[in-house]
Chains A and B, each alone.
Chain A
Amino acid sequence: MSTPTLMPRKRRGAEFMLTILAVLIGIAAYCAVGLGTKGSIPGGVFKLAAALVVVAVATTLLVRRVAPYADPVLLPLVICLNGLGLAMIYRLDIGRQQIDPERAAFANSQLLWTGVGVVAFAAILLLIRDHRRLQVLTYTFGLAAIALLILPLLPGIGRTLNGARIWINLGPFSFQPGEAAKVCLAIFFAGYLVVKRDALALAGRRVLGIDLPRGRDLGPILAGWLVSVGILVFQRDLGSSLLFFGLFVVMLYVATERPGWLIVGAGLFVGGAWFSYNAFGHVRVRFDAWLDPFSDPDRNGQVINGLFGLAHGGVLGRGLGQGSPQLTPYSFSDFITASMGEELGLTGLMAILLIYGLIVERGLRIALTCRDAFGKLLAAGLAFSFALQVFVVVGGVTRLIPLTGLTTPFMAQGGSSVVMNWAIIGLLLRISDQTRRPAPEVSTYDRDEPTQVVKTA
C-alpha cells in the first residue's frame, strides 16, 4: 500500500530550449554590434559563438548530471545576461578606441573571466553535493569573509582606484575581494543564524505591537553594522557597505521572523547614513549629485552623461553599435546599464530588469520551497543580496537613488564580479536540486517479523 510519491518534473528539456534561445540572443547582439559599428558581422563572432555554445552545453550537461532537479530557468537567464554583457563590452571597446586607440580592450578578458566563472560554477556543483555540509564551515566562512575584506587594506597588495580601496593586486591580476566576501558572509550569516535564531527570536519585549529584541541580543547586529561602517570608513566603498548591512539585517529578520530587527536595522541605517553624510565629503558629493546633478555639470559629468545616454536611447534605443555610450566614463562597468539603455532603449532595459527580477524570483522560490532552515536562509540571503545589488547600482545610474559603486551582475566588466555571480548561481542551483529532489523512498513493512531475523553469513 505504498502511496504514490509526487515525482517533480526535472524540466531539463525546457532548460535546454531556453538556453538555446539565450545563446542566440548573445550571438545576435554580437553580430548587431559589428553591423552597427562597422557595417559587417565581426570576425570574432565565431570565437564568441563557440564560447557561448561551449558554456551553454557544458553547464546544461553538468546540471543534467549532478543537479538534475535544479531550477531550469536560472541558467538560461544568466547565460542571456552574460552574452549581452559580452556583446556590450565588445561594442564599448570599439567605441572607446575610436576616441583614443590607446584605451584598453576588455572583451577578451571578460570572455576569459566568464570561462573562469563557469569553472567556479561547475566546481561548486561538483564539490558540494549537499549544501547543508557548508553549515559545518560556518565560522570558517566568517573568518574568510573578514580576511577578504581586510585584504585590500594591506599595504603592498591593496590598491586604491577612484577613491575606493577595494582592490588587490595579485601578480598581473587585480581582484575585488568584496564580491567573494559577500558570498562568504551569506553562508556565515545563514549558519550562525540557524543556530542562534531561537535566542534572538524569543526573548524581548513588545512595544507598540512590535517585538523588539533584548539589549543583550543586539550584539550581532551591532557587529554587522560596525563591519559595514568600517568598510565605509576604511575602504570608502558606499555600495558594499550598504549591501552587507542590508543582507545581514534581512537574514536576521528571515531567521527570527521578527520585524523588530528591521526597525532596529533601519534606525542604524539612518544613523549611519546621517553620520557618513556629515563625516565624508565623497558621500555628500554623491548625495548632492543625486538631488541636482545639473548644478555642477563638471563634477557630476558621469551621472549626467549616463542620463543623456538613457534619454538619447529613448523608447526603442539607438540600436547596438549606433549610439554613443562610450561618452560616459566607465560605460563598460559601473554604467553598463546606461549603455544598455542607450542602445537597446527603454524596451531593452526593461527586458534586462525583468531578467534580473526573474533571477531574484527564482532564488526566493528556492528559499520558500527549501526544506532545511540553513538552505532557506542561504537562498533567501543570496537572492536578496542579488536584488539589492541590482537595485542599488541600476537605481544609482538612473538617478532613482544616490549613486554608489556596485557592479551590475553578469554584465559589468570585471572578473571578480562575473566569477562570484556564477558561484552564487551554482549555490542556488545546488540548494534547488536538494529542494526539488523527491524524498528518499522509505520502505514500510507490514510485519516486523523479518527484522527480527538475523542472518549470519
Chain B
Amino acid sequence: MNRPIRYLAIACLVMFVALLINVNYVQFVEADSLNAKNGNKRVINEEFSRDRGAILVGGEPIAESVASKDEYSYQRTYNEPELYAPLTGYFSYIYGRSALENSQNRVLSGSDNRLFVNRVVDLLANKQPKGGSVELTIDPLAQKTAKDGLEALGDDTKGSVVALDPETGEILAMVTQPSYDPNDLASHDFGAVQKSWNTLNADKNQPMLNRATQQILPPGSTFKLVTAAAALENGLEPDDGVKGGTRLTFPGMSYALVNENGASCGDKLTFERALNISCNVSFGSIADDLGQEKLAEQAAKFGFGTDPLDGIAADASRFATADSELSVDKLAQSGIGQFEVAATPLQMAMVAAGIANDGDVMKPYLVRTVRSPNLRVLEQTQPERLSQAMSPANASKLRQMMVSTVQSGTATSARIPGVEVGGKTGTAQSTPDRPPYAWFVSYGEKDGKQVAVAVVVESSDTSRDEIAGGRLAGPIARSVMEAVLGS
C-alpha cells in the first residue's frame, strides 16, 4: 500500500503548494487592487484614523486633523469652513472625499511615494505615519473680501468670484455662494452626517456646487472681450469705425439684434467706443464679419472647451455645442455671449488674465507647494503657459480699450485711484421669468503687480433693473483687486 500513499503525499503537496501560491496572489499581487476597491472599510478606517496633513492658506491651516478621543483618534476639522469649502471639499467616512481632499489624498494621507522614506522612519520609530501638507495659492484677504462682497448682496444671492495672478496662473481667490460646512460631513457622528448630506443634496440652491468651476452660464457682454480679441487679431484697430445704430437686421429674417433697453449706440462710433458702451449691434456685426471659425478659435485659445484646472471638479466652457453650424443671427448672438455660449467664472477670469499678461494665458493652479510632514518641500508648482491667445501688441490695445471702459464706459464702478484697471460688464438673459446674470470681468495692475477677476451674481434680492453687471458685480471685483494689490 506504500505506492498509493506516496502518490497521496504528492497530491497533498500539490494542494498545499496551491494554497501557498494563492495566498501570495491575494496578499501580494492582488492586494493593491483589493485595497483600492469601493467600500473597503479597512482602508477607510485607516485613513480616517491617520494624522492627515493640513491644507494651508497663507501659512494657516484651513483643514487639519485634530486629536480626538474616539476610536478614530483624529477628527478632520475645517477652519472657516464655508469660505474654503469649494476648495478643500469634504473628508467623510460615509461619502468619501471631494475637491482637494480627494485630489491631494495621497499626500495628505501620507501614502504618496515621495513620502516613502518618512513612512519607513515612522515604522522603525513605531510611530503612526503622518500625512504631508498642501499649501494653496489663495490670498486669504482676497478670498475673505470676495466672500464678504457676495454676502453683502443678501442671503439669497447665488454667485461666485475667481481671482487669478495673470503672470503665473495662481488662483488668488475662489469663492462660491451659497456654500456649506464640510465639518458636518467629516463628523464621526455618522447619523448626523447622513442627515446633513441629505439636507445639502435636497437644497435647491446646490450649496455643494462649486459655481466658480462647475457651472457654465451665458457670459453675456463680457464675452465681447473674446470677440474684440478676435477682431484685433484679424486687423481691426480700436479707432476703426464700426456699425452702430439701434438694430442689427439679417437678410430674410424678421429677427433683429437690439441693444440693451433698445437704445441706439449712435450712428458713427469707433471699435473702442463700442466696447466702452457695450454696443450689441456693433459686436453682432463684428462677429458676423469674423465668422464662426475665427471666433471659436479665439475662444479656444483662451481655454474654452478644455478643463483647465487640476484637482477640483471643473467643467469646460463652450462657444457652441459640438458640430453646430451657426446661422448669421445666431453667430451675432454668440458674439455678444448669448445663444449657446456658456462659460465658468474661472474661464472668464482666464480671459481677463490672458489679456493682462500680454496675450499669454497661464494654466491656473491652486496648489503652490506640497510638503512632507517635516515641512520639506516635495513639489513646487511651476507656472505653465496654456496658450498664446493674442499678440502682445494687440493685448496692449485691448487693455487700453478695457481701461477706457472703466474710465468712461459701463464699468466705472471698478475704478480704483492710482491703479490701472480695465474691465467689462455683462448682463446675460436666460429666461424672462428669472433675473439675468450679472457679470464683471476685470484686471488691475499696480507697480508691476497684476490681478484678474471674474465675478458672477446669478440672482439676488435686488430688483431686476439693478442687476446690470456694473452695479452689482463691479464693486465686488474692485474690492478683490484692492485686496490683492494692497491699495
| Chain A interface residues toward B at CB < 8 A | 98, 250, 253-255, 257, 294, 297, 307-315, 323-324, 327, 341, 345-346, 349-350, 353-354, 356-357, 360-361, 364, 367-368, 373, 376-377, 380, 383-384, 387-388, 390-391, 394-395, 398-400
Q: Does B2 contact A (CB under 8 A)?
A: yes
Give the distance to chain A from B148, nearest Cβ to Cβ, in Å.
Answer: 45
Alpha-carbon separation in the docked complex, A143 to B2 (Å)? 29
Alpha-carbon separation in the docked complex, A356 to B20 (Å)? 12
Q: Which of A250, A312, A349, A357 contacts B42 (CB 8 A)?
A: A312
Q: Which residues of B contact A323 (CB under 8 A)?
A: 42
Q: Which of A346, A380, A399 contacts B5 (CB 8 A)?
A: A380
Main SS of the interface on chain A? helix
Known: A257-B1, A360-B12, A367-B5. A346 touches B22 (CB 8 A): no
Contact of B1 with A398 in the complex, beta carbons under 8 Å:
no
Q: Which residues of B contact A311 (CB under 8 A)?
A: 26-27, 30-32, 34-35
Contact of A254 with B42 in the complex, beta carbons under 8 Å:
no
Q: B24 — nearest CB in chain A belongs to which residue?
A: A346
Contact of A353 with B41 in the complex, beta carbons under 8 Å:
no
Q: Which residues of A contact B71 (CB under 8 A)?
A: 98
Give the distance to chain A from B337, nearest Cβ to Cβ, in Å.
Answer: 48
Pairs A–B under 8 Å by Cβ, sample size 24: A253-B4, A254-B4, A308-B41, A311-B32, A312-B43, A324-B41, A349-B23, A350-B23, A353-B23, A354-B16, A364-B5, A367-B5, A368-B2, A368-B6, A373-B1, A380-B4, A380-B8, A388-B15, A390-B19, A391-B18, A395-B18, A395-B19, A398-B26, A400-B22
Contact of B4 with A309 in the complex, beta carbons under 8 Å:
no
Q: Which residues of B contact A255 (CB under 8 A)?
A: 1
Contact of A313 with B16 in the complex, beta carbons under 8 Å:
no
Known: A380-B5, A400-B19. A387 touches B37 (CB 8 A): no
Query: Which parts of B22-58 form the interface with A (CB within 8 Å)?
Result: 22-24, 26-28, 30-32, 34-35, 37, 39-43, 45-46
Q: Which residues of A contact B8 (CB under 8 A)?
A: 250, 253-254, 364, 380, 384
Q: Which residues of B contact A356 (CB under 8 A)?
A: 16
Q: A369 — nearest CB in chain B belongs to which residue?
A: B2
Contact of A377 with B18 in the complex, beta carbons under 8 Å:
no
Contact of A294 with B4 in the complex, beta carbons under 8 Å:
no
Alpha-carbon separation in the docked complex, A255 to B2 (Å)? 10
Tell me how many residue pairs across A and B have CB atoms closer than 8 Å. Answer: 125
Alpha-carbon separation in the docked complex, A313 to B26 (Å)? 10
Contact of B5 with A308 in the complex, beta carbons under 8 Å:
no
What 0/1 pattern do residues 206 to 247 of B give for CB contact below 8 A with A? 000000000000000000000000000000000000000000
Contact of A353 with B16 in the complex, beta carbons under 8 Å:
yes
| Chain B interface residues toward A at CB < 8 A | 1-6, 8-9, 12-13, 15-16, 18-20, 22-24, 26-28, 30-32, 34-35, 37, 39-43, 45-46, 71
Q: Which residues of A contact B28 (CB under 8 A)?
A: 314-315, 346
Contact of A364 with B40 in the complex, beta carbons under 8 Å:
no
Alpha-carbon separation in the docked complex, A136 to B303 (Å)? 92
Q: Which residues of A contact B4 (CB under 8 A)?
A: 253-254, 257, 380
Give the distance to chain B from A243, nearest Cβ to Cβ, in Å.
Answer: 13
Give the distance to chain B from A15, nearest Cβ to Cβ, in Å.
Answer: 23
Contact of B1 with A391 in the complex, beta carbons under 8 Å:
no
Q: A98 — nearest CB in chain B belongs to which residue?
A: B71
Q: Which of B27, B35, B41 contacts A315 (CB 8 A)?
A: B27
Q: A345 — nearest CB in chain B belongs to which residue?
A: B27
Q: A197 — nearest CB in chain B belongs to which residue?
A: B1
Q: Which residues of A contact B12 (CB under 8 A)?
A: 357, 360-361, 364, 383-384, 387
Q: Which of A98, A357, A380, A399 contacts B16 (CB 8 A)?
A: A357
Give the distance to chain A from B340, nearest Cβ to Cβ, in Å.
Answer: 42
Q: B38 — nearest CB in chain A belongs to which residue?
A: A297
Known: A346-B27, A398-B26. A391 touches B5 (CB 8 A): no
Q: Which residues of A contact B32 (CB under 8 A)?
A: 311
Q: Which residues of B contact A253 (CB under 8 A)?
A: 4, 8
Q: A313 — nearest CB in chain B belongs to which residue?
A: B27
Q: B34 — nearest CB in chain A belongs to which residue?
A: A311
Q: A363 — nearest CB in chain B belongs to which residue?
A: B12
Contact of A254 with B26 in the complex, beta carbons under 8 Å:
no
Alpha-carbon separation in the docked complex, A250 to B9 (Å)? 12
Contact of B3 with A257 in the complex, beta carbons under 8 Å:
yes
Q: Which residues of A contact B6 (CB under 8 A)?
A: 368
Give the distance to chain A from B434, nearest Cβ to Cβ, in Å.
Answer: 43
Give the distance to chain A from B1, nearest Cβ to Cβ, in Å.
Answer: 5
